[in-house]
Amino acid sequence: MKLIQASDLHLSDANEREYCLSVLDEIFKTAKDLSCEGILFCGDIFDTFSDLEKLRTEFVSRSKQFPGKIYFLPGNHECLRKKSKGGGYSDFDWGDQIFIIEKEPYQILKLNDLVEILGIPHQESYGNLLTEPPQGKSSRFRIGMAHAVISGMSFTGFETEEEGGGVLDSGQLQSLGCDYVAVGHIHRARSQRFGDCWIAYAGSSRVWRKGEFGKRGGYLLEVTETGITKTDLEWKSAGQYREIIVSLLLDGKPEKTPSDYLSSCGPSDWVRMRYSGYVETMSYLKEFEKEITEGWSTKLRIVEFDSDQSEVKVLKDLGENQFIRRFLDVMDGKRTSLEPELWNRAKLLGLELLTEGKR
Residue 89's pLDDT is: 93
Are 7 and 150 within one domain? yes
Which CATH number covers residue 142? 3.60.21.10
Are 23 and 167 within one domain? yes
What is the rounded distance in angstroms from the CA atom of residue 52 to the CA atom of residue 270? Answer: 24
Domain boundary, last residue among 205, 221, 237: 237
Residue 46 CB neighbours (<10 A): 27
Comparing CA positions, the residue from 84, 87, 98, 95 lying closest to residue 45 is 98
What is the rounded distance in angstroms from the CA atom of residue 14 to the CA atom of residue 29? Answer: 24
DSSP-assigned beta bridge partners for residue 98: 70
Are 201 and 269 within one domain? no
Is beta strand 2-6 parallel, antiparallel or unpaired with respect to 217-224?
Answer: antiparallel
Are 102 and 52 within one domain? yes
Are 24 and 111 within one domain? yes
Are 151 and 176 within one domain? yes
Enumerate the H helices of the chain as residue ranges: 17-33, 49-63, 128-131, 170-175, 258-262, 285-296, 322-333, 340-355
Are 175 and 262 within one domain? no
| Contact between residue 29 and residue 77 where contact means Cβ atoms under 8 Å apart | no
The tens-digit pLDDT sequence of the chain (359 residues) is 999 999 999 999 998 999 999 999 999 999 999 999 999 999 999 999 999 999 999 999 999 999 999 999 999 999 887 776 667 899 999 999 999 999 999 999 999 999 999 999 998 888 888 788 899 999 999 999 999 999 878 555 544 455 566 789 888 888 899 999 999 999 999 999 999 999 999 999 999 999 999 999 999 999 999 999 999 999 999 999 999 999 898 888 999 999 999 999 999 999 999 998 888 888 899 999 999 999 999 999 999 998 888 888 887 766 677 878 888 888 888 888 888 778 877 887 888 788 776 54
Are 54 and 153 within one domain? yes
What is the rounded distance in angstroms from the CA atom of residue 41 to the CA atom of residue 73? Answer: 6
Are 231 and 291 within one domain? no
| Contact between residue 202 and residue 189 where contact means Cβ atoms under 8 Å apart | yes
Residue 155's pLDDT is: 55
Domain boundary, last residue among 237, 255, 287: 237
Range of the domain at 323: 241-355
Are 15 and 134 within one domain? yes
For residue 267, say if its preceding peptide bond is cis, omega within 30 degrees of 0.
no
Are 15 and 95 within one domain? yes
- b or e along 286-302 (b: 16 or more beta carbons within 10 Å of the residue's beta carbon)? eebbeebeeebeeebbb
Cα separations (Å) of 89 from 102, 103, 251? Answer: 7, 10, 60
Alpha carbons within 13 A on the beta-carbon side of 261: 25
Domain boundary, last residue among 220, 237, 254: 237
Comparing CA positions, the residue from 127, 164, 128 lying closest to residue 147 is 164
Are 253 and 115 within one domain? no
How many residues in total does the chain contain? 359
Contacts of 315 (CB under 8 A, 6+ apart): 278, 279, 280, 355
Residue 158's pLDDT is: 46
Structural domain count of the chain: 2
| Contact between residue 143 and residue 182 where contact means Cβ atoms under 8 Å apart | yes
